[in-house]
Amino acid sequence: MLPKLSAARCRQVWLDPRAARWLEDVEARGLFVSTLEGPELILRLHDLFRDFLENRLARDLPDEVPELLKATLNK
């Protein structure tokens, strides 16, 4: 899981050119995120939601977790 979500980081990890639109939608809906101050939109997942997603990822895709962690640490 990315600790902070920006359009550029999300595009790099998920290869989705609509990343900025997705983040704007998440922010507008107030979906378990906090907006960080700065010149660009950066969101941080609420701790409990991030923990839930990390546990779900480990349960559902345990073989992919090491590669995903490496990818997010390099961004």
One DSSP character per residue, 26-56 reads HHHHT-SEEEEPSSS-EEEE-HHHHHHHHHH
**Lookup: tokens for 53:** 């997603």
Model pLDDT, residue 14: 80
**Mean per-residue pLDDT for 53-59?**
91
pLDDT, tens digit, for every residue of 1-45? 788 899 998 888 888 999 999 999 999 998 899 999 999 999 999
Task: Pick 49 or 65 by higher pLDDT.
Answer: 49
pTM: 0.74
